[in-house]
Chain A
C-alpha cells in the first residue's frame, strides 16, 4: 500500500488545488451562456422577431381578415392589390383573396417544416446516439449505412417517395424528414463519442443503469447545442424542399395551398398579374432570410470557437 500512498497524496493535493481555483457561486450553464451571446447578436434577434411575426400572422392572421382562402369574391377576379376593396394583396384568377391564401400557405409550409424537422431530429438523434454509444461493429455498420444514403441524390429519392405516397402531404413530409436525418446522425454520433467517456456516464454505468436509459437520460440532454443548431438549419431546407415539390406539382394539392403552390400559380400568371408571384415570393424569401440569420446566430452562440 505504501507504494501508492505518495501517489494518492499527490492526486489529493492536485484536486484540492483545482477546487481552490474553482470560482464560487452559481455555476453558469452552457445553455445560459449561449442564450446570452444570442441576445447580444442584433442580426439574429431582428431575424427572430421577423420570423416570430410571420409565424404569428400565419396562425392568427386568417381569423382577422374578412376573406377565406377558398371562397371566390365574384366582384374581383385577378384584381390588383388595393386598399379600397380590402384585397390588400389582390386576388387570383378565381377571385380568391391573395392575402388569405398567402397566410394559409405560410401556415401549411411551416406545419410541414415542423413535422419533417421533428421526424428528422428524433430519428437523427436516436440513431447517432445509439451508434456512437454502442460503438464497435454496430457503429461502423450504422455509419456505413449513412454513408450509402448520403451518396444517393436526395431530391430524386424525394420524388420517388412522392410517387409512392401520392397525395397524402403530411405522410410525405414525414418521409422527407426520414431522409433528412443523416447529417444530424453524424453530428450526434461525434458528440456522443466524446460524451460517453465522461465521468457521469461511467457513474451511471457503475450504478447499474442499462444502455438505453443511459442514452436517453445522460447522453441526449447533453446534445442540446448541436441539435438546436442543426435543427434550425433543417427548417429552411425543408421549407425549400416543400416549395420545390409543390412547384413541380408533386406536393400540396388544391384546395389546400402552400407557398410553393402559390409561387407556381404566380409564375403562370407572369406579366399579367405579377402580384400573384411577388407576394408569396416575398414572404418565402423573408422567411428564409430570417431563418438563415437565426441559424447563423445560434451557431455562433453555441459554438463560439467556430467564429
Chain B
C-alpha cells in the first residue's frame, strides 16, 4: 500500500512542476504589474519597489529563487496586501473554503447515491423520471444562475434564509451555498449510481442472493451497493477539483471570505505572488484529494489493489 501511495505521489510531481513553471512565466510575461496605479509612481519609487521584491532580476533567477523558497514551503509575500504573506491569507481563507467544499462534497455523495439508488430500483417509473429531469437541470444550469434564483426565492421572497454572508457559520448561512455548489455533482453522481446499480442488479450473483431468499433491502445494501459504487468513487477525484474551483464563484456570489475570493481579487489586481500561491495551493489540494480517492478506490475494488 505504501509503495502505491509513493508511486502516485511521484507521478504528480512533474505535473505540479510544469504547472508552476507555466503559471510563473505566463504571469511575468503579462503586461502591467502589481504596482501600477491610476497615477503612475515616480520612476525611482517604482525602481525601489521592484528591487525590494527582486522583480528587477533576470526572470530565470526569479524563477529559481521562487522554486527554492517553495521547497521550504514559503509561498512568498503578497505584492498588493503588503501586511500579509500569501500563506497567511490562504490560512485565513482556508477554513471557510474547506467547510463549504467539504459540506458540498458530503451532500453530493449522500444525495447523489440515494437519488441514484432510488432511480435504479424504481427505474422508468415517475419517480425516476422526476429525478432524471432535476438532474438534467442541475447539470445544464450553471451555478452562477442557480445561486441568484435560490437567493431570490428563499432569501428575498420567502425570507427563510439569509441571502449571503457567513454570519456565525451556522447551517442557515451554509445551506444555500452548499446546495448550489453540490447540485451539479448530486446530478452527475445520481446518474452514475443509477446506471451502475441497474447493471449490478442484473448480474448473476445478485440473482443467486435473491434466489437464496435474502430480502430485497439486504440484497441491495449488502451485496449490490459496494460493487456498484466504483464508478461513483472514480468520479470523486475530479469532483473534488470541480468543487474547489466551483467554490470560487459560490464564494463570490454569497460573499463568503474563502480562498476563492482572495484568488479572484488577486487576479484582478495582478498580485503575482498571491495568484501563483493560490494556484499552487489549489493544485496541491487537488492532488491530495485525488490520492485519497485513489486509496478509497483500491479499498473498494480488489482488482486495483493487486495491480
Contact = CB atoms under 8 A, between A and B. Distances in A.
Interface string B263-282: 11001101000010001001
Interface stretch (B12-20, B98-106, B215-223, B296-304): B12-20
B152 A151 contact: no
Contacts of A162: 267
A198 B301 CA distance: 38
Interface of A: 147-148, 151-157, 159-164, 166, 236, 240, 243-244, 247-250, 260, 263-264, 266-267, 270-271, 274, 277, 281, 284-285, 288-289, 292
Given A162-B267, A163-B26, 4 more contacts: A156-B279, A243-B144, A263-B148, A274-B152
15 contacts: A147-B15, A153-B241, A153-B244, A155-B248, A157-B23, A159-B263, A159-B267, A160-B26, A163-B27, A164-B27, A266-B148, A267-B148, A271-B152, A285-B141, A292-B136
B252 A248 contact: yes
B149 interface: yes
Nearest to A162: B267
B130 interface: no
Nearest to A160: B26
Contacts of B169: none
B10 interface: no
A156 B14 contact: no
Interface of B: 12, 14-15, 18-19, 22-23, 26-27, 29-32, 136, 139-142, 144-145, 147-149, 151-152, 156, 163, 241, 244-245, 248-249, 252-253, 263-264, 267-268, 270, 275, 279, 282-283, 286
A48 to B, nearest CB: 16
B31 A166 contact: yes
Nearest to A155: B245
Contact of B267 (A147, A160, A240, A284): A160
Contact of A244 (B18, B31, B142): B142
A267 B253 contact: yes
A244 B275 contact: no
Interface majority SS (helix, strand, loop, mixed), chain B:
helix
Q: Top 4 nearest A-B pairs by Cβ distance?
A: A164-B30, A271-B156, A267-B148, A151-B15
A236 B141 CA distance: 11
A275 to B, nearest CB: 11
Given A274-B152, A277-B148, A163 B275 contact: yes
Nearest to A165: B30
Given A160-B275, A164-B26, A249-B268, A284 B156 contact: no
A284 B148 contact: no
A172 to B, nearest CB: 12
